[in-house]
Amino acid sequence: MVSAQTGNEKQYRQLLDELSDVIHRYLISRFGYHDFLEDCVQDTLIAIHNARHTYDGSRLFRPWLFAIVRHKSIDALRKRKSEQAKVTHRGLEDLETNGYAIDTCSSQEWDTSITQGRLINALAPPFRQAIVLTKLIGFSNAEAAKHLRISETALKVRVHRGIAKLKRLIEAEEA
Amino acid sequence: MSSRDSIIQSLSEDLQPVANSVAVDSKAMLWFVLTAFYVVLVTQWLAPIRADAFNQLVTVPRFFIESLLGLMAIVMLTLAAFRAAVPGRLTTRFAISGLALLALWLGNYVYGLIDPTLEPSMAGKREQCWLQTATMTLPPIIAAVLLTRRLYPLSPLRTVFLFSLAAGMIPALYMQIACMYIPEHILGHHILPGLVVGVLGCALSLFYRR
């Protein structure tokens, strides 16, 4: 990065290449395999580019890098709308037929990717359900609220608190 | 070429050198010193300070410690604010330490309601000291935003809140020397305006570029 600050294109390109893989693996381990992670990686690379002048070469690179990564990942999750979810939305019946237990948001036979991320798994069930249904699977607020038998307002509160909890969990990793 | 490769390609093409604009702690201390100087100058210009204030600093250890505690809290807040403008620079521990020190300093005045540090007295009373405290904070907050707007605060709201709090507490602290010493008055007319400005100053977070 210090070299990039002087305008070295070749080394900067190499850095971004390597960082993109590191960031992708980091996000997968915390959130599981999801379509929005690629957008998150790209947004993070852009943020790194825009913030590169703030990196102090006399300090460790990792805290600077992962502060940006953590911020962008929570930001991406917060902004994600149900219609943007590219995970196949098969309908509740189809999901349940394939072994996905909506009530616990855990998967046995079906694609386990939805709850593989350890941060998602660390959430209390009410928050995990709300976030998985709306942000990861792609249900609308109305659909998710109906399934969970709560009001839309209550669902939104759970999503908001769930994201806040995720933010605290991911920031706790800074230590 | 994948979209990720395209982005990497476009970001690294025609890469311009950038001046490293950190050394945030130095900027923080510069801002603090200039703001303190400005507050002292303006306060002295508006009206004389309490006659025996500096004598009390020397002869009453508890007053000295109280003022020192305030000074340390403000310095830590200042450092935290500037560090918050650089990704990964501000640790949670440091931020909490600064706020805890601030709470300790302010708590001292709450305790002073039953056991004041100095004998409460109207000596040094300044007209509309609350207004002086509130209005003095605006230029330093704006200066702080201008000094850091080219950095990259991940949470502009948090950054400006910390600046505004520090900027509000500097005149609040100096009023303990410039104005009368009565804990109720201090809390309501020196500290409270500083805290209110701390919250209102958050509106300036809109000026951070993205």
ipTM: 0.82
Interface check A173 vs B, CB under 8 A: no
B129-163, pLDDT tens digit by residue?
Answer: 888 888 889 899 989 988 888 888 898 888 988 98
Residue numbers in A near B82 (CB within 8 A): none
Residue numbers in B near A71 (CB within 8 A): 87, 154-155
Check residues A94 and B36 and name the one with the higher pLDDT. B36
Give the model's pLDDT for residue A120: 84
Give the model's pLDDT for residue A21: 92
Residue numbers in B near A11 (CB within 8 A): none
Average pLDDT over residues B9-18: 85
Give the pairing type, strands A106-107 and A100-101. antiparallel
Report the distance separating Cα B44 and Cα B169, nearest Å: 17
Q: Cβ–Cβ of A64/B87 closer than 8 Å?
A: yes
DSSP state for residue B206 in the 8-state scheme: G
Interface check B48 vs A, CB under 8 A: no
| Position B66 confidence tier, pLDDT thresholds 50, 70, 90 | very high
- Residue B49 in tokens: 């300070």
DSSP state for residue A109 in the 8-state scheme: S
Q: Cβ–Cβ of B152/A171 closer than 8 Å?
A: no
Interface check B20 vs A, CB under 8 A: yes
Give the model's pLDDT for residue B36: 95
The phi, psi pair for A143, rounded to 5°, reads -65, -45
Residue to mutate among A53, A65, A86, A174, with most B CBs inside 10 A, is A53
CA A94 from chain centre, in angstroms, equals: 25
Q: Per-residue pLDDT for chain A (175 aa), expressed as one digit of tens each?
A: 888 888 888 899 999 999 999 999 998 888 887 778 888 999 999 999 999 999 988 889 999 999 999 999 988 888 876 555 444 444 545 555 444 455 454 444 334 445 557 888 888 888 988 888 888 877 888 888 988 889 999 999 999 999 999 888 888 876 5
Closest by Cβ to B8, choosing from A16, A59, A171: A16
Look at residue B68 and tell me whether its pLDDT is greater than 90. yes
Average pLDDT over residues B1-17: 84
Look-up of token digits 């070429």: B1
Q: Cβ–Cβ of B92/A49 closer than 8 Å?
A: no
Report the distance separating Cα B143 and Cα B76, nearest Å: 18
B73-121, pLDDT tens digit by residue?
Answer: 999 999 999 999 999 999 989 999 999 999 999 999 999 999 999 888 8
Handedness of CA B94, B95, B98, B100 (dihedral sign): negative
| Sequence-separated (6 or more) residues with CB below 8 Å from residue B32 | B74, B75, B78, B166, B170
Check residues B23 and B32 and name the one with the higher pLDDT. B32
Q: Cβ–Cβ of A20/B151 closer than 8 Å?
A: no
Mean pLDDT score of chain B: 89
